[in-house]
Amino acid sequence: MLRVNNIEVVYSKMILALKGVSLEVPEGKIVALLGSNGAGKSTTLKSISGLLAGEDGLITDGTIEFKGKKITGMAPDAIVKNGIFQCIEGRRVFKDLTVEENLMAGAYTRKDRKNIKGDIENIYEYFPKLKALQSRKAGFLSGGEQQMLAIGRGIMAKPKLLLLDEPSLGIAPLLVEEIFKNIKKINQEEGMSILVVEQNAAVALSIADYGYIMEGGRVVMEGAVENLLANEEIREHYLGIG
């Protein structure tokens, strides 16, 4: 469904951040993009969602195709309309809007307005905590609650492909487990494909079908999750269970 072909990305006309990255996300699957700090994971996601331009980044080579259509370098709103939505790292929710208003804002590009109420109820089922907080201004939520809201907002956009950037960042381990369990549930129940960037390899691989490992702007390893989990090097370097 998503095919990234050998992309090269340069920031500020001089920093070569991606040196030929290729990856695929098949329909209905969860794919994890792993690797250490500065490996190029976020840059890869931003290349797909079109958010690169806002950071003075440019795709200088390669192509990105979504459902057979070339989307390389398209504007972010056009990419959303094509069915790709990115939940941004740092949990950027609208702090002055309530939880419910944030969820409604996620649906802004949708034409099926009458289904929105029902979909919000659906999100409250995934994340009951959000229901209890529905009238609270998002700026008063904890980090974990904001992360759930950011994911909920992404689901409200009803994308075909959801891009998640470090959903575990700064969140207590128990809550991380809950969030990832819900990501899996959303994938299964809504049939949404998911590409998730994570430094926490263990938790990402616990829900993913396939994984890519990046280092220094390149994919250095890839495989079905069961193969990655069986790989000595990965167990040692990324999972700490060598």
Instruction: Provide the binding-site residues for ligand ATP, judged by CB under 6 A.
Output: 11-12, 15, 17, 35, 37-43, 55, 199
- Whole-angstrom Cα distance, residue 92 to residue 18? 25
Characterize 149-170 residue by residue with b for buried, 16 or more Cβ atoms within 10 angstroms of its Cβ, and e for exposed. bbbbbbbbbbbbbbbbbbbbbe
Q: Is 12 or 135 the residue whose CB approaches ligand ATP more closely?
A: 12
Q: Considering the complex, what minimum distance in angstroms separates the CB of residue 51 from ligand ATP?
A: 10
Least separation in angstroms between CB 99 and ligand ATP: 27
- Cβ closer to ligand ATP: 39 or 99? 39
Rg (CA), the chain: 17
Q: Which is nearer to ligand ATP, 109 or 199 (CB)?
A: 199
Q: Angle at the Cα of 10 (from 9 to 11), degrees rounded to 5? A: 125
Smallest gap from residue 43 Cβ to ligand ATP (A) = 3
Between 11 and 94, name the residue whose CB sits nearer to ligand ATP.
Answer: 11
Cα(40)–Cα(17) distance, rounded to whole angstroms?
6
**Residue 158 near residue 102 (C-beta atoms within 8 A):** no
Whether residue 161 contacts residue 1, with contact meaning beta carbons closer than 8 Å, is answered with yes
Give the residue with the Cβ less far from ligand ATP, 27 or 55.
55
Q: Which residues contact 113 (CB under 8 A, 6 or more apart)?
A: 107
CB of 16 to ligand ATP, least distance (A): 8
Q: Minimum distance between the CB of residue 89 and ligand ATP, rounded to whole angstroms?
A: 7
